[in-house]
Amino acid sequence: MKEIEHGFVMTGAEPNKNDGVENREAATGGLDVMLCFAIYGAAHAFTRAYKPLLEPLGLTYPQYLVMMALWAEDGQKVKALGDRLGLDSGTLSPLLKRLEQSGLVKRKRDAEDERQVKITLTPQGVELKERSAGVMEAIGEATGCSLEEVGMLRAALVGLKDRLEGAEER
Amino acid sequence: MKEIEHGFVMTGAEPNKNDGVENREAATGGLDVMLCFAIYGAAHAFTRAYKPLLEPLGLTYPQYLVMMALWAEDGQKVKALGDRLGLDSGTLSPLLKRLEQSGLVKRKRDAEDERQVKITLTPQGVELKERSAGVMEAIGEATGCSLEEVGMLRAALVGLKDRLEGAEER
DNA sequence: CGCAATTCAATTGCGTGCAATAGATTTATG
DNA sequence: CATAAATCTATTGCACGCAATTGAATTGCG
């Protein structure tokens, strides 16, 4: 138990602790690593926090995101859902199949364009919206963030995501 | 295409757009949903950004995190790695097996406590640290964040994660 | 019109994440 | 000391997440 305090970048070490590394690149690199690890951890923490709330509804967290997209706009195509959620058909196809087996949505080939599949909420799918009302509230409480904090954090993360995705294409 | 502008919380809709909902809970709920979705998206964006950088090294992103933990402190037990990375044995056991098959680490039962398994870097595992030097730098560039931004974001996310995890246990 | 290129959903394969369980070992308790 | 409780790793099963491929349908181009 002697080497617990070693300044490992992924723990809560302070940004300015750069043991023996003096060039700027390595220092910033350490910070960015900490950032990506913080996001990694926060994302998992969110999923874990949602899990017990969604379990009574019979939904996983990604399924909940899909249902929210459909509650906002019913009858979307798989492609549109994928664009909005950042998921491809390899993820959505089996997920939607499970939602269909749960009786929450219906999948139907579009008559006008047979390539597309339209996802429609069943009455049970619509009804689930009310039953899920408490979920957002509970999560909001668990975050313990002010509205300003949430807004700023969200904006920063969206900007970060856009820059990361923009960098790929160059 | 008439209902594209519907205020769906997961898109870039402004926080103050609360169509017909006047109670505070629902408004904060919407914001928190946007926050968790922003984190979800940013986390995936990070993973995607790392992927092409780590591919030449033969590592996935979680494997890279494990290797970083070992570069910081070699010879850690599986439990210690799990605590640090927030992963359990169900994730780490197969991951470490793959790292061993790649020749980067060795797994050995601890002689003093046969329940524990000690993970040690092979010479190739040690050598990979140098070859991965450019990864952090490239990611740092892709984020396009100032050091202050990164530090603040990271602190906010760590705090958020702690609060979410603390809320579970109550 | 006819054929190539594109678009879209589904499938396959692999690697996480995590709950639940199993198996072995160590520690605690009577 | 013996037995129960706790600890630790591995395994199983399920659900993503994504690259790559397939197959069907549509669009574009000559």
- CA at A93, C1' at D17: how many angstroms apart? 12
Question: Which B residues 48-87 touch A at CB under 8 Å?
Answer: 48-50, 52, 65, 68-69, 72-73, 84-86
pLDDT in tens, B21-32: 444 444 444 566
The shortest C-alpha distance from B84 to chain A (Å) reads 7
Which band of pLDDT confidence, cut at 50, 70 and 90, is reported for residue B72? very high
Predicted interface score ipTM higher than 0.90: no
Q: Does B149 reside within a domain? A: no
- CA at B92, C1' at D30: how many angstroms apart? 57
Lowest mean pLDDT among A66-80, A108-122, B153-167: B153-167
B62 and B134 both lie in a single domain: yes
B52 and B78 both lie in a single domain: no
Question: Which of B31, B73, B85 is closest, CB to CB, to A6?
Answer: B73
Q: Does the pLDDT value for residue A74 go beyond 90?
A: yes
How many other CB atoms sit within 10 Å of the CB of residue A13?
A: 17
Q: Does B146 reside within a domain? A: no
Q: Tokens 């949903």 appear where?
A: B33
Question: Which B residues 83-142 touch A at CB under 8 Å?
Answer: 84-86, 136-137, 139-142
What is the tally of structural domains in chain A?
Answer: 3
Domain encompassing residue A31: 1-58
Q: Does the pLDDT value for residue B169 go beyond 60?
A: no
Amino acid at A150: V
Q: Does B144 reside within a domain? A: no
Going by the DSSP 8-state scheme, the letter that residue A77 receives in this structure is B
Q: Does the pLDDT value for residue B15 go beyond 60?
A: no
Lowest mean pLDDT among A101-105, A126-130, B145-149: B145-149
A119 and A65 both lie in a single domain: yes
pLDDT in tens, B80-107: 999 999 999 999 999 999 999 999 999 9
Q: Does B157 reside within a domain? A: no
A1 and A43 both lie in a single domain: yes
- In CATH, what number is assigned to the domain containing residue B91? 1.10.10.10
Question: What pLDDT shows up at residue A66?
Answer: 97
Q: Does the pLDDT value for residue A58 go beyond 60?
A: yes
Which band of pLDDT confidence, cut at 50, 70 and 90, is reported for residue B168? low
Please say which residue of A33, A58, A83 terminates a domain.
Answer: A58
How many other CB atoms sit within 10 Å of the CB of residue B148?
A: 9
Average of per-residue pLDDT across B111-140: 94
- CA at A107, C1' at D29: how many angstroms apart? 34
3-state secondary structure chain B: CCCCCCCCCCCCCCCCCCCCCCCHHHHHHHHHHHHHHHHHHHHHHHHHHHHHHHHHHCCCHHHHHHHHHHHHCCCCEHHHHHHHHCCCHHHHHHHHHHHHHCCCEEEEECCCCCCCEEEEECHHHHHHHHHCHHHHHHHHHHHCCCHHHHHHHHHHHHHHHHHHHHHHCC
Q: Does B85 reside within a domain? A: yes
What's CA B61's distance to the chain center, in Å?
Answer: 8
Query: Per the CB < 8 Å rule, is A31 touching B147?
Result: yes
A3 and A43 both lie in a single domain: yes
B129 and B69 both lie in a single domain: yes
Question: What pLDDT shows up at residue B117?
Answer: 98
The shortest C-alpha distance from B97 to chain A (Å) reads 22
Q: Does B167 reside within a domain? A: no
pLDDT in tens, A84-125: 999 999 999 999 999 999 999 999 999 999 999 999 999 999
B64 and B128 both lie in a single domain: yes
pLDDT in tens, B2-11: 333 334 444 4
Q: Is the dihedral of CA B41, B42, B43, B45 positive or negative?
A: positive
pLDDT in tens, A18-46: 443 334 444 444 566 788 889 999 999 99
Please say which residue of A58, A84, A103 terminates a domain.
Answer: A58
Q: Does the pLDDT value for residue B13 go beyond 60?
A: no
Query: Per the CB < 8 Å rule, is B136 touching A85?
Result: no
A2 and A52 both lie in a single domain: yes
> Nearest residue to D10 (CA, C1')?
B93
B23 and B70 both lie in a single domain: no
Q: How far apart are alpha carbons B89 and B121 in whole angstroms? A: 19
A49 and A89 both lie in a single domain: no
Please say which residue of B34, B57, B80 terminates a domain.
Answer: B57
Lowest mean pLDDT among A50-59, A103-112, A125-134, A139-148: A139-148
Question: What pLDDT shows up at residue B17?
Answer: 41
B22 and B76 both lie in a single domain: no
Task: Judge whether residue A88 contacts strand D, using its CB and a 7 Å cut-off.
Answer: yes
A78 and A54 both lie in a single domain: no
Q: How far apart are alpha carbons A60 and A135 in whole angstroms? A: 13
Going by the DSSP 8-state scheme, the letter that residue A37 receives in this structure is H
